[in-house]
Amino acid sequence: HQIPIDLILMDIQMPEMDGIETTKRIREQEKKSGNHIPIVALTAGALKEEKEKCMAAGMDDFLTKPLQYKNLLHSIQKFLVLPPDLAKSLDKKELQKENPGKKTRFHQQDLMERIYHNEAVFYQLIDLAFSSDDVVHLEDAIQKKALDTIKKCAHKIKGYALNMSFYCLADLAKQLETALVQDVSQIPAIFQELKEEWHQILEMLKKVKENS
């Protein structure tokens, strides 16, 4: 007995099989069953080309990280009937911008709003930042000139940075992604900036913890 699925939130960057390929396989299976499950893409990339790929694969909507609660509800509402209390929260309020795009090292207010001002979660996220080895893995990939791994690491760092409201770090990770496509000779210099930015973030988070 299978539990019916109403909607799928599809992460585009998954380790074994990416979201594009997964969606294609689901749509192939649906040709036999006649069903159509709404699929909403989740990605840290806001490029027009990426959105077009998602739609071509058979996805129904597209959301970028950091995921804002109202934007998620708005997307779900296109395909499903929301409970009255959730539907009310979407009445006439303007949707939040999905990516504030602020060139800020750490926009603490944005993060607090995203986690509903839960201080326990806030300090857990700070602790997790100190244990992150994503920048180390990226540096190793750059030294080995492993372009595919660089791409995955840069994308992961960008998504993480957007979720944490580390907007300068997210911008540098995005610059790395662009350099991979346009001019790989820029990668070492951009990485040095990114590495220094990450160091500055950790120093800043130490002070945040000390002052708590």
How buried is residue 210: exposed, middle or buried, by Cβ count under 10 Å (0-12/13-18/19+)? exposed
Question: Is 163 a residue whose pLDDT tops 90?
Answer: no
Query: What pLDDT score does 91 carry?
Result: 57
Tokens 């990450």 belong to residue: 198
Judge if the upstream peptide bond of residue 100 is cis by omega within 30 degrees of 0: no
Backbone torsions φ then ψ of 99, nearest 5 degrees: -130, 105
Write out the two tokens for 123: 């300090």
The distance between the two most distant Cα atoms of the chain, rounded to a whole number of Å, is: 60
Which residue ranges form the domains of the chain, and what is each CATH number?
8-88 (3.40.50.2300), 108-210 (1.20.120)
State which of 47-51, 90-94, 173-177 shows the largest mean pLDDT: 173-177
- pTM confidence score: 0.65
Percent of the chain exceeding pLDDT 70 equals 89
Does the pLDDT of residue 28 top 90, yes or no?
yes
State the pLDDT at residue 92: 46
- For the stretch 136-161, pLDDT in tens is 999 999 999 999 999 999 988 998 89
Total count of residues recorded for the chain? 212
Q: Are 177 and 148 in contact (CB under 8 A)?
A: no
Give the confidence band of 125 by pLDDT, cuts at 50, 70, 90.
Answer: very high
